[in-house]
Amino acid sequence: MLKLLSMVAAVIVWGALSLTLPPEIFPGPIETARTLWGDIAGGEVWTDLVMTMLRVVAGLLLALILGVPVGILMGLSRRAEAVLDVWVMIGLTVPSLCYAIMAFIWFGLNEGAAVIAIAVTAAPSITINIWEGVKNIDTRLVAMARVFEATRPAIVRRVLMPQIFPYVMASARFGLGIIWKITVLVELIGRPNGVGFKLFYWYQLADMRQVLAWTLLFTIIMLLIELVILKPIERRVFAWRPQVAV
Amino acid sequence: MNSVIEVASLRKTFKSRDGTSRAVLKDLDLAVGAGEFVCILGPSGCGKTTLLNVLAGLDKVYEGRACVSGGRVGYLFQEPRLLPWLTAEANLDFALISCRVPAARWSELKSRYLAMTGLSEYRDYYPHQISGGMAQRLALVRALCVEPGILLMDEPFSGLDEITARRLRSDLLSIWEGTRKTIVFVTHNAYEACFLADRILVMSGGTFRQEMRVPIARPRSYDDPAVFQLSRDVIKAFGDDIGREPVPSAIPATEPSLVDDLDRHAAARMNI
């Protein structure tokens, strides 16, 4: 309820602020919504939206495939930690634009390069999350499982994985937040379609109605994914967790 | 008497970072008979837990002989160590699967021990939804469910409040009297040891200093003056002995609930 109220308030503030500038420079919420509706009714948003979504999903999957094993390795082995932590920091520091440029120059202006650039940018943050998670594993539970004669695979599956899983979930969510932004940037510099491409296109035409319409569309889709898909999954998977009252 | 636990010249050393090694167990000998209830009494850091870890097979690096026969080993830790993402019942199932107990027996075993500890109503609760005492009782159920021949217990009641601990001690004794499992119970509480044990081994600095049989007839009552008298004698007799050998690692401040109120003064002196 409060969430809804705050959103309504934000729309009102947006409307009020937009009155300070001419509508072609800073369109208000009604104008933007009308433009967005026109785009949706025209049917041209879907290709761009679907392409962006595919890149986001592919990028996230690849980022998890790269980031999770490295994080687990760093959590388990001191030697791996000593060697890799500086590289994770470097990976984290290099701007996503650099990865995008390198990927497009080296691998060509194609989907593969785009997904690689997206994944490489997001992977270090995922690695850090998992690394911390693995370090937090409760080894006393492992000792307990060993006393009960659990086999090694059973310990991994039933004692270790459930402890790492929350961190994988958290990094997926958190990675998604980063990946949306990188994807738009990557599309802007190297793809012929997608939300980022469209934003840049309308920016070049200085059509602020369209720029804000696409921003709005993107934000709504992101919120829907968060609220309709990720939150419910998290609630179901972590039903066992105690409620923290502060 | 046939022994189910036989330990001979057991030595265990830990290497610290600067390369010096410290003996935690020094030529330990121990024999525990089938169905016997043995308490190992000693201050923190004396090597009690290390000994249990060797007996449980958690620690495999040691010198000497440590032989455990007479069936599966059950272990009750100082904390419940329940898997927090599983319900009470699923925690029991985890142990039953791991120990390959035939599934046909599960429901009977679970029901019996849950009933014995008064937890039958709590099968579907998650560990964070039950109290610390209940969680520790559930851990006891888990240890008993897999039908161990030998039960190793590492200060299992020391983290609980005195009232709960008292009840659990009595529960444990009645379960033991019903099942006659071999129990090795580690504690730093002299009163607890005198109430529970057939035999008390006083441990300090990695060796057993003294051994004594508990002459009190069973079934015992927790408020029996004989238990009180004996625990006083134990502390009097062995307190100085323990005090003389400085305990190598830092001794955490003794929590008041660990020490029986009656003998707090004497206990504080010997860090029991």
- What's B16's domain CATH number? 3.40.50.300
Q: Distance (Å, rounded) from C-alpha A42 to C-alpha A36?
A: 10
The helix/strand/coil state of B125 is coil
Write the DSSP assignment of B2-54 as a string of letters.
Answer: -EEEEEEEEEEEEE-TTS-EEEEEEEEEEEEETT-EEEEE--TTSSHHHHHHH
Between A57-61, A62-66, A106-110, B114-118, the lowest mean confidence (pLDDT) is in B114-118
Q: Tell me the pTM.
A: 0.77
Average pLDDT, chain B: 85
Residue of B nearest to A162 (CA): B85
Complex ipTM, two decimals? 0.80
Span B210-231, pLDDT tens digits = 899 999 988 888 888 999 999 9
* Positive or negative torsion for Cα A158, A161, A166, A169: negative
Kindly state whether residue B36 falls inside one of the protein's structural domains: no
Kindly state whether residue B235 falls inside one of the protein's structural domains: yes
- The chain A residues in contact with chain B (CB within 8 A) are 140-141, 143-151, 154, 158-159, 162, 240-242
Beta-carbon contacts of residue B89 (< 8 Å; ≥ 6 apart) = B110, B123, B124
Kindly state whether residue B37 falls inside one of the protein's structural domains: no
Between B117-126, B132-141, B159-168, the lowest mean confidence (pLDDT) is in B159-168
Beta-carbon contacts of residue A12 (< 8 Å; ≥ 6 apart) = none
Which of the 8 DSSP states describes residue B157?
Answer: T
Predicted local confidence at residue B263, as pLDDT: 43
Residue of B nearest to A150 (CA): B98
Span A19-58, pLDDT tens digits = 998 888 899 999 999 999 998 888 878 899 999 999 999 9
Predicted local confidence at residue A239, as pLDDT: 74
Residue of A nearest to B83 (CA): A141
Per-residue pLDDT, averaged over B59-81, amounts to: 90
Q: Which of B81, B95, B129 sits opposite A141 (nearest CB)?
A: B81
CA-nearest of A91, A93, A112 to A103 is: A112
Predicted local confidence at residue B265, as pLDDT: 44
Kindly state whether residue B228 falls inside one of the protein's structural domains: yes
Predicted local confidence at residue A245, as pLDDT: 64
pLDDT bucket at B209, cuts 50 / 70 / 90: confident
Kindly state whether residue B197 falls inside one of the protein's structural domains: yes
Burial readout B121-142 (b: 16 or more C-beta within 10 A, e: otherwise): ebbebbbeebeebbbbbbbbbb
Our CA-based measurement puts residue B80 at a distance from the nearest CA of chain A, in whole angstroms, of: 9
Span B65-74, pLDDT tens digits = 999 988 889 9
Span A133-153, pLDDT tens digits = 888 899 999 999 999 999 999
Instruction: Supply angle C-alpha B64, B51, B12, rounded to 5.
Output: 45
Residue A138 CA to its chain's centroid (Å): 28
Q: What domain range includes position B194? A: 3-21+46-270
Token pair listed for B118: 């008064």
Average pLDDT, chain A: 90
The helix/strand/coil state of B68 is strand
Write down the domain spans for chain A: 47-191
pLDDT bucket at B246, cuts 50 / 70 / 90: very low
CATH of region A47-191, choose from 1.10.3720.10, 2.60.40.2480, 2.30.130.10, 3.40.50.150: 1.10.3720.10
Our CA-based measurement puts residue B62 at a distance from the nearest CA of chain A, in whole angstroms, of: 18
* Positive or negative torsion for Cα B250, B255, B258, B263: positive
Our CA-based measurement puts residue B248 at a distance from the nearest CA of chain A, in whole angstroms, of: 24
CB atoms within 10 A of CB B110: 21
Across the beta sheet with B37-41, the strand order is B73-76, B150-154, B182-187, B37-41, B199-204, B207-213
